[in-house]
Chain A
């Protein structure tokens, strides 16, 4: 019984229930003696029966699917074939899971001959519980469906009930975002706490040596000092990228809003927005393939030592290009929010356009621009693919843009894409780094939104 067939079955049964409910409601809606009593249109009666038929059965099936794996294993273990299983919990577990995989058709052949003997009991138990669940679910569909169908009468406030269900659904949907936020926070905290029970938080936050390979043992770990990663992240995302993005983004916004003729603006704006729509993996490839070698050759030709083909500069510049439309649209918004009286006043006093922009518009729009830059920084430090592909893995603390540095996101990817077990400090370190990244971006966003909001209020 596959999921899609089950889904189809539920839809068909629901449609049937809807049809019966609607037919009954239509009959009393058209009969002369009950017509005046009818509260809801037949359609709502149909939905009433359909929901009664489907929802309890679906909930039951979900609960059933969560419960049965345990029951199946128990039944299989009580079969005679289970007597020859070894007592050692680990081998026992692996044999059982192998037998289960074969019984469910996910695997063709067993590595362990003992598993073969367990396949039959498993298969029998699985099919028994599956049949039991299906029968019970079908009974539930019919019982609830008939029950609600019998309750249909002209006075039934079907629409009110349906609308209440709709409201609950809407509320649940809007709660998912909150659940996700809480889920992110809890899972990051949970794994980080496990990490910090192995590595001291102080060593992690203030240590200057990052080299997770040099892990000594369960206690006294070294090489988890994240300062070089923080420096690399700031260097690439907040310094180099912003040196590229702020002037270009700001000047583009100024030119487009203050100087450009309407049709130039109409064409140029979407083109700049394409820059934001290009996937980051494309930027990363571009940085690694084209920009990085060119910069390295340039550095070598002017005699800078330590030039690496995975330079911070390449990743930072390309990231800056990616951020341009972001800065530009934030600057655009905040310049547009400056009251035109200020601009007109300055122009009327005889200031040229550029003087007005430099002395009136930008100072007035500064909080908005700063907020936008903060948002851009938060986006840049969370950016992953460009730095993974172009920035390298060497945890250097250097201010030489031509040498290689590494970032928080690069290390998260590196730590989690190996084949190590989930409990090792290396894997858990990625979650600790993620937690730091999450908190920093969250704070940047909150500050930026507050700055922007306050400033908007000032002019409204």
Chain B
């Protein structure tokens, strides 16, 4: 120690007031402050990334829920030759409207109002919006109505402030007529080639069906396996093997499960490609280890005194577990299950492997229908070159994130509300 003065071999006490020592202490404290600031920076950076990501998605995505509209006046009595509203009610009104030539009526009206080039301003699905409006209120057919119809995609993008020069010019010409409305199509439709008509309902329904299959398989099997391993399994090589394989499965990359699904479910069993059934099976294999591990922790947390009390009053080992341990462990198991399901809901890669990336324009009706799921839909839209898909992709991401955050919030609530500390 250079600052400890040693004269003639006698060690004097450290002079804390000396300049050298003060300087040293100041240096050490500065290092302490720097280190602390570094830690805070790391946290702020990490949280900042999250905030930035969410802001970017919000900024792009919220526009995806709106659509740009142009007003169109349609003189229905003149166009239809006096069709009466009462004819177009009931279940097959949709087909009757089609037979009436609604598409031509809309196109003619557009040309009357906006000139020969007018139809290029509107989305190809504009007449569908008219059709829906009439189905809601058939009385429209007997009057001259002004409807707000979705414009064509490039115009839509330009009006939202991100378009090409030509579309920008058109927007300027029409600026006093253009308006914004809520894009109901986005919530009700399925995939389409025109970004003005795409929707997430098909993918959402596919996700729900897939999740149902996953839950129906992974939850019972996972819970039963957790109970066996924690309560009954003898300690021997076989149960060790089961334990090791469960722990490893939880860490296997998800794409490997996709390869398994492709090789076994599609090629060996011959199940239909891109069906929700196969997706659910694959995701169930992936989710099950998560449920087993969290289930075992929840079962382990039930104190032995409860088992001993039940055994003491004459319950059999099975009755002990199913009547006492399982109900007490259930909140913990459910928390783990929800977290596992949330992970499965956001999973994309294994589903690409089993062919759930097809273009699916109708929502699936059963587990064997071709389906797609939300994350895969996001992936497919992100590949589209059309600028209109950018905001749709982000909007779909917002929907997916809302689902995931809700599931996680429910899991946290369950944990806080029902988990007993013994």
Contacts and interface: CB of A to CB of B under 8 A. Distances in A.
Contacts of A388: 349, 379
A383 B253 contact: yes
B225 A173 contact: yes
A385 B53 contact: no
B342 A277 contact: yes
B209 interface: no
B348 interface: yes
Contact of B42 (A169, A191, A247, A275): A247
Contacts of A259: 36, 39-40
Contacts of A379: 251, 253
A275 B267 contact: no
Interface in B21-38: 28-29, 31-32, 34-36, 38
Contacts of B40: 255, 259
Given A255-B39, A382-B253, A416-B353, A354 B259 contact: no
Given A275-B49, A279-B347, A177 B289 contact: yes
Given A177-B288, A281-B348, A282-B378, A255 B43 contact: yes
Contacts of B46: 248-249, 252, 272, 275, 321, 324-325, 328
Given A173-B220, A422-B267, A431-B263, A438 B353 contact: no
Nearest to B393: A285
A438 B245 CA distance: 13
B163 to A, nearest CB: 17
B86 interface: no
B133 to A, nearest CB: 33
B224 A279 contact: no
A431 to B, nearest CB: 6
How many chain B residues sit at the interface, stated as a range, is: 35 or more
A444 B255 CA distance: 17
B47 A280 contact: no
A283 B264 CA distance: 30
B402 interface: no
Contacts of A251: 38-39, 41-43
Q: Determine chain B's interface SS by DSSP, over half rule.
A: helix
Contacts of A175: 242
Instruction: Identify which of A166, A282, A412, A430 gathers the most chain B CB atoms within 10 Å of its CB.
Output: A282
B262 interface: yes
Interface string B270-303: 0000000000000001001100100000000000
A359 to B, nearest CB: 12
Contact of B50 (A249, A275, A353, A382): A275
Contacts of A352: 28-29, 31-32
A413 B259 contact: no
A176 B225 contact: yes
Q: Determine chain A's interface SS by DSSP, over half rule.
A: helix
A272 B400 contact: no
A37 interface: no
B255 A321 contact: no
B32 A282 contact: no
A232 interface: no
A176 B379 CA distance: 31
A285 B405 CA distance: 19
A115 interface: no
B252 A184 contact: yes
Interface in A171-213: 171, 173-178, 180-184, 187-188, 190-191
Contacts of A173: 220-222, 224-225, 228
A188 B57 CA distance: 38
Interface stretch (A9-17, A286-294, A299-307): A286-294
B259 A248 contact: no
Contacts of A71: none
Given A259-B36, A282-B57, A422-B267, A274 B50 contact: yes
B259 A177 contact: no
B357 to A, nearest CB: 6
How many chain A residues sit at the interface, stated as a range, is: 35 or more
Contact of A434 (B53, B247, B249, B259): B259
B41 to A, nearest CB: 8
B249 A177 contact: yes
A320 to B, nearest CB: 10
B362 interface: no
Nearest to B43: A252
Contacts of A171: 228
A256 B346 CA distance: 28
Contact of A409 (B249, B345, B349): B349
Interface in A239-283: 247-252, 254-256, 258-260, 268, 270-272, 274-275, 277-283
A309 interface: no
A281 B350 CA distance: 12
Given A409-B255, A434-B256, A174 B229 contact: yes
A279 B400 contact: yes
A397 interface: no
A277 B411 CA distance: 13
A159 interface: yes
Nearest to A412: B255
Contact of A355 (B28, B249, B349): B28
B352 interface: yes
A170 interface: yes
B232 interface: yes
A445 B251 contact: yes
B61 to A, nearest CB: 11
Interface in A114-150: none
Interface string A149-177: 00000000001000100110111011111
A288 B379 CA distance: 11
A375 interface: yes
Nearest to A440: B253
Given A255-B36, A275-B50, A324-B46, A167 B251 contact: no
Contacts of B251: 375, 378-379, 441, 445
Contacts of B267: 422
Contacts of A177: 225, 242, 245-246, 249, 288-289, 292
A83 interface: no
Contacts of A378: 251
A385 B379 contact: yes
Interface in B388-417: 390, 393-394, 397, 400-401, 404-405, 408, 412
A352 B57 CA distance: 43
Nearest to B245: A181
B233 A174 contact: yes
B45 interface: yes
Nearest to B345: A279
A270 B56 CA distance: 21
A212 B382 CA distance: 25
A422 B355 CA distance: 13
B247 A449 contact: yes
Given A178-B245, A277-B405, A438-B256, 20 more contacts: A174-B225, A174-B228, A174-B229, A181-B249, A182-B245, A254-B39, A274-B50, A277-B404, A278-B346, A282-B397, A283-B53, A285-B394, A286-B56, A290-B56, A355-B28, A355-B32, A417-B352, A441-B252, A442-B252, A445-B247
5 contacts: A178-B242, A182-B245, A270-B412, A278-B346, A384-B255
Interface of A: 159, 163, 166-167, 169-171, 173-178, 180-184, 187-188, 190-191, 247-252, 254-256, 258-260, 268, 270-272, 274-275, 277-286, 288-290, 321, 324-325, 328, 352-355, 357-358, 375, 378-379, 381-385, 388-389, 409, 412-413, 416-417, 422, 430-431, 434, 437-438, 441-442, 445-446, 449
Interface of B: 28-29, 31-32, 34-36, 38-43, 45-47, 49-50, 53, 56-57, 60, 220-222, 224-225, 227-229, 232-233, 241-242, 245-249, 251-257, 259-260, 262-264, 267, 285, 288-289, 292, 316-318, 322, 342-343, 345-349, 352-353, 357, 375-376, 378-379, 382, 390, 393-394, 397, 400-401, 404-405, 408, 412
